[in-house]
Amino acid sequence: TALRTLALAGVLSGMTLSALPPAAVAAARAPETYTLTIRHLDRQGTATDAYLTHVTGVSGPGASEEVSPHDASGTVTVRLPEGRYLLDSTLSGPEEGSGTDWIVQPRLDLDRDTTVTVDARTTAPVDVRPQDPDARFLSRLGAVEVTHGGTTRSANVMAGPDLRVAHLGPDAEPASVKEWFDTYWEGGTDDYALGYSFTSARALTGLVRHPSAASLATVEIRRAAPEGGTGNAFVSVQPSAGPTVGLVQPLRPLGTATVLVTPERGRWNVEYEGPAAPGAAPDRYAENGFAVRAGATTTHTFGNAVFGPALATAPGARPAGVRDGAALSLDVPLLADGEGHAPSAPRFRSATT
């Protein structure tokens, strides 16, 4: 009867059917796949084969997918599982030095056959330069990170001075897209590390910044002249957070490198590699995560008079000694320079003063 059927259904709904045959469990449904077609157009609106496109799975059944499809016609087709993807495409001009276009779609929901058009005509310039007529462009890195469903994927581009960028597609979720642009310039007397970071639901379409010297912070790296230090040292200045490249330059004995940096980029790192004696490894030091302020100067001197041992005194720093029962573990750099920089290399087991 209908009542007996309902009662039986009620009993079954509370049961665990552990006796299902293995074949029924193994026959899990394969994820749906869809065709993704990508068209590439240059700055004149014509099809181009001068592109490098990445499609990276972020979440869903396609989360582990990563492809870089290419076809000389400018139109490429790939079949992928359903899911959320990050697409980024770098298009180059027909001649060397004719510019780069970077187009980022942080949210590509593949739930049906889809066509995407990557069009260089939608881009706008990345114009980041100091107000120094003698400055010469050195390098630039742009990077993006997209987070969805607890997973983060990234993409980046290294380009010359003529870089144009654009967002493609719908907005992603609020604050799920992080982007960094770091541009380095060599000036007549000072160098420039101009970095900016952004968090939103979209990738950038263009970026214009011409910071004045007063809006920048000054980082001075000084080199002492220890005994035997006759060759060049090398210093690198870079932001602490996010993907980046650094500004590397040589430093003579008793020399000073001056780099103007953007406070908006957050904290900064300095790395120093001293000259090596014949047959020996160079000393390497780092000062990481220091704060800067517009109009203020931060000075770091490396390789001056030696003191030791180097005990970390910053809040949260690892203690020099840790006791575990009857065992005592020590981590005490025996020597550091006059500002307390302990070398990360070379490694040593003893020192004599």
Q: Tens of pLDDT along 1-50? A: 443 333 433 433 333 334 445 554 444 677 899 999 999 999 999 999 99
Q: Give residue 336's pLDDT.
A: 63
Residue 9, domain member (yes or no): no
Q: Tens of pLDDT along 89-145? A: 999 987 776 799 999 999 999 999 999 999 999 999 999 999 999 999 999 999 999
Residue 353, domain member (yes or no): no
CATH of the domain at 151: 2.60.40.1120
User: What DSSP string runs through 157-209?
Assistant: EE--S-EEEEE-SS--STT-EEEEEEEEEE-SS-EEEEEEEEEESS--S-EEE
Residue 142 contacts residue 154 (beta carbons within 8 Å): no
Residue 108, domain member (yes or no): yes
Q: Give residue 343's pLDDT.
A: 61
Buried b (16+ CB within 10 A) or exposed e, 101-140: bbbbbbbbbbeeeeebebbbebbeebebbbebeebeebbb
Domain count, the chain: 1
Residue 46, domain member (yes or no): yes
Residue 41, domain member (yes or no): yes
- Residue 56: give the domain boundaries: 31-211
Measured CA distances, 202 to 61, 154, 165, 166, 237 (Å):
23, 14, 12, 10, 29
Nearest Cα residue to 40 out of 117, 155, 148: 117
Residue 291, domain member (yes or no): no
Instruction: Compute the radius of gyration of the chain from its Cα atoms.
Output: 28
Q: SS3 of 230, please?
A: coil
Residue 90, domain member (yes or no): yes
Q: Tens of pLDDT along 192-240? A: 999 999 999 999 999 999 999 999 999 999 987 655 556 788 999 999 9
What does the pLDDT average to over 277-292? Answer: 84
Residue 181 contacts residue 126 (beta carbons within 8 Å): yes
Buried b (16+ CB within 10 A) or exposed e, 65-88: bebeeeeeebebebebbebbbbbb
Residue 314, domain member (yes or no): no
